[in-house]
A and B are shown apart, each in its own frame.
Chain A
């Protein structure tokens, strides 16, 4: 038995992780390329999780994200005049994380504890921390925290399925949009619904909206960004995350922001129509 973790049944400590051989060359998959100015179709649903105050569920291609919002809940301890806000973004243990190798998902301690059993991971990985804090940054300005003194609002994001090829920023983008919808479902007072967009600029200055995989990037991408907006609140930027090959100049940055705004408005339109429809259905 595993002596490191007595709270979970992790099996024999000398077990090793399965390593799969390389795939046969003839089964190379054919990726369908979507037009650059289109967003992939998505499936949205709120209220599936009944023991949370609000919840949202999102599917885009093979990515499935489930968000639950707990709060406002009373806190223990001393008085605070505004709600505390926290986001936990988590992959199910067997879901492959984007850029796993680069981020060294398992730090040394947890690697030793969970050499083969992925279920033994008890702390967040680097990627999870990064996306958690991005979602937190994006949503924080929209929530009217001062309305909820001595309470806490917690958002739990779970990635149920994901392709290994999915781009990190793309996942962050959908996680922000889904969390924002869950926040609306919870009825917590907000200034505006935050939506975000993900754009990649190619070397010749073209913009690709919602680029799903990393594979295109090596060939043509020079810079990409996820930008979160409060679209009906003077298009305020509430979160920005850029990645680029080399330095990012001003024209590229403004182009990224402009196209992200375009995409976030499209998603906002979808979220709006979803919300209107669900109100009609409730009647």
Chain B
């Protein structure tokens, strides 16, 4: 009776509306019944599908002039990541020691969010993290990026032939180029329907694209070599400038050598779950806090409320990268162990 008199009635919202206006409450109510807003289990990841994308010049059915050397498309839930690997050539002479060093790719991530202009913080941080993780994982070595330089020679009948050091004997290669070149790998990521931990998805796409990457053979094309002869006139000296043009072989290529195993990345969040145990109608709610580990955060409720995160990049035994961001619920040693254990099993499944 008193309720109707005051005019206050409890309001009820549909789950999707509640998730929008009170994400925290929605998350807690789900957790209280042992579920997540996405209806997944606490340690359950979204399924991941990958494909080669067919953007690469080496995989597409028709021969094309695309500059893409390797590509991958990754889909997880609604989110799609398209990754394309392109390359540049830089002239550098590396010592034996330098050749064993780890190299990386230069990634640029673009997340479609309906805005134009400069990259956002998230995109820049993602790019930097991808760059560093590839470097520290040691999956790419400078030796693998060395350009296999051949020499083109013109035969007496007018046809030309290219000799490569790994396919022809030493005798065929009387004149070896004294200069050395290396590839620089670039990766571009286009993300549609951004949702969930982007690093996991971008890393997955990058690994798949690198595994599909073919590096072309290259030869010195003497016809387009640009050699400037020094000229001295009226006391001015011109500098000697030799500009060899490296041309890549149209068809011949070799797969990019990947050292060791590329890991798989898995992200987790840690959140305090308040289990509401309302005793009687007096409104006394007994709060019993216990934190839970959630795999692969998804949706507004989780992404905004779960601040403590763990990201693990692993290939079975080896841990390539572990990053921990605190700020929300306390990340205990127990959670860390659990996260690493789950990531290992997941990596073993996905990389098998």
Residues of A near any B CB (own CB < 8 A): 7-12, 14-24, 27, 29, 48-52, 62, 66, 68, 70, 73, 88, 92-96, 116-120, 122, 154, 156, 158, 160-161, 163-164
Please report the C-alpha to C-alpha distance between residue A118 and residue B108 in the assembled complex, in whole angstroms. 10
- Cross-interface CB contact of B88 among A92, A116, A161, cutoff 8 Å: A116
Task: List the B side residues contacting A154 at CB < 8 Å.
Answer: 114
Task: List the A side residues contacting B55 at CB < 8 Å.
Answer: 94, 160-161
Closest to A17 in B: B88
Please report the C-alpha to C-alpha distance between residue A29 and residue B190 in the assembled complex, in whole angstroms. 30
Instruction: Tell me if B62 counts as interface (CB < 8 A to partner A).
Output: yes
- Find the residue from B54, B89, B216 having the highest chain A CB count within 10 A: B89
Known: A9-B106, A18-B89. A23 touches B186 (CB 8 A): no
- Cross-interface CB contact of A16 among B86, B90, B188, cutoff 8 Å: B90
Please report the C-alpha to C-alpha distance between residue A22 and residue B247 in the assembled complex, in whole angstroms. 9
Please report the C-alpha to C-alpha distance between residue A11 and residue B131 in the assembled complex, in whole angstroms. 11
Please report the C-alpha to C-alpha distance between residue A93 and residue B195 in the assembled complex, in whole angstroms. 23
Task: List the A side residues contacting B192 at CB < 8 Å.
Answer: 48-49, 66, 68
Task: List the B side residues contacting A11 at CB < 8 Å.
Answer: 88, 106, 184, 186
- Cross-interface CB contact of A117 among B64, B106, B248, B249, cutoff 8 Å: B106
- Cross-interface CB contact of B108 among A9, A19, A51, A52, cutoff 8 Å: A9
Please report the C-alpha to C-alpha distance between residue A7 and residue B109 in the assembled complex, in whole angstroms. 11
- Of B116-124, B233-241, B262-270, the one contacting chain A is B116-124
Name the interface residues of B156-196: CB closer than 8 Å to any CB of A: 184, 186-188, 190, 192-195
Q: Mark B79-111, 1 if CB is under 8 A from A, else 0.
A: 010101011111100000000000000111000
Task: List the B side residues contacting A118 at CB < 8 Å.
Answer: 67, 86, 186, 188
Cβ of A119 and Cβ of B78 under 8 Å apart? Answer: no
Task: List the B side residues contacting A73 at CB < 8 Å.
Answer: 114
Task: List the A side residues contacting B194 at CB < 8 Å.
Answer: 51
Cβ of B193 and Cβ of A50 under 8 Å apart? Answer: yes
Closest to B89 in A: A16
Known: A51-B195, A66-B192, A94-B68. A8 touches B127 (CB 8 A): yes
Instruction: Tell me if B278 counts as interface (CB < 8 A to partner A).
Output: no
Q: Mark B234-265, 1 if CB is under 8 A from A, else 0.
A: 00000000000111111100000000000000
Please report the C-alpha to C-alpha distance between residue A37 and residue B287 in the assembled complex, in whole angstroms. 73
Please report the C-alpha to C-alpha distance between residue A94 and residue B108 in the assembled complex, in whole angstroms. 12
Known: A158-B112, A161-B55, A163-B64. A92 touches B216 (CB 8 A): no
- 5 interchain residue pairs of minimum CB distance: A116-B88, A70-B114, A15-B88, A119-B108, A11-B106
Task: List the A side residues contacting B338 at CB < 8 Å.
Answer: none
A68-B112, A156-B114 known; 20 new pairs, CB 8 Å cut-off, are A7-B119, A8-B108, A8-B127, A9-B127, A15-B88, A18-B248, A24-B251, A29-B62, A29-B63, A52-B112, A52-B114, A66-B192, A73-B114, A92-B190, A93-B108, A94-B68, A96-B67, A118-B86, A118-B188, A163-B64
Closest to B117 in A: A122
Task: List the B side residues contacting A51 at CB < 8 Å.
Answer: 112-114, 193-195
Instruction: Tell me if B304 counts as interface (CB < 8 A to partner A).
Output: no
Task: List the A side residues contacting B60 at CB < 8 Å.
Answer: 62
Instruction: Tell me if B286 counts as interface (CB < 8 A to partner A).
Output: no
Please report the C-alpha to C-alpha distance between residue A72 and residue B305 in the assembled complex, in whole angstroms. 28
Closest to B121 in A: A7
Cβ of A117 and Cβ of B112 under 8 Å apart? Answer: no
Please report the C-alpha to C-alpha distance between residue A8 and residue B124 in the assembled complex, in whole angstroms. 7
Cβ of A10 and Cβ of B106 under 8 Å apart? Answer: yes
CB distance from B205 to the nearest CB of A (A): 14
Task: List the B side residues contacting A18 at CB < 8 Å.
Answer: 67, 86-89, 216, 248
Known: A9-B127, A23-B251. A15 touches B195 (CB 8 A): no
Task: List the B side residues contacting A10 at CB < 8 Å.
Answer: 106, 108, 186
Cβ of B86 and Cβ of A94 under 8 Å apart? Answer: yes
Instruction: Tell me if B221 counts as interface (CB < 8 A to partner A).
Output: yes
Please report the C-alpha to C-alpha distance between residue A233 and residue B186 in the assembled complex, in whole angstroms. 48
Task: List the B side residues contacting A22 at CB < 8 Å.
Answer: 250
Please report the C-alpha to C-alpha distance between residue A62 and residue B107 in the assembled complex, in whole angstroms. 25
- Find the residue from A52, A68, A93, A95 having the highest chain B CB count within 10 A: A93
A-B contacts, 17 of them at CB < 8 A, read: A7-B118, A10-B108, A12-B90, A17-B88, A18-B88, A19-B248, A20-B216, A21-B219, A21-B247, A48-B193, A49-B112, A51-B194, A62-B62, A93-B86, A94-B86, A117-B186, A118-B67
Task: List the A side residues contacting B216 at CB < 8 Å.
Answer: 18, 20
Instruction: Tell me if B330 counts as interface (CB < 8 A to partner A).
Output: no
- Cross-interface CB contact of B188 among A23, A62, A66, A119, cutoff 8 Å: A119
Please report the C-alpha to C-alpha distance between residue A158 and residue B66 in the assembled complex, in whole angstroms. 17
Instruction: Tell me if B5 counts as interface (CB < 8 A to partner A).
Output: no
Instruction: Tell me if B128 counts as interface (CB < 8 A to partner A).
Output: yes
- Cross-interface CB contact of B66 among A49, A66, A94, cutoff 8 Å: A94
CB distance from A13 to the nearest CB of B (A): 9
Closest to A22 in B: B250
Task: List the B side residues contacting A23 at CB < 8 Å.
Answer: 63, 250-251
Closest to B181 in A: A16
CB distance from B266 to the nearest CB of A (A): 23
Please report the C-alpha to C-alpha distance between residue A50 and residue B194 in the assembled complex, in whole angstroms. 8
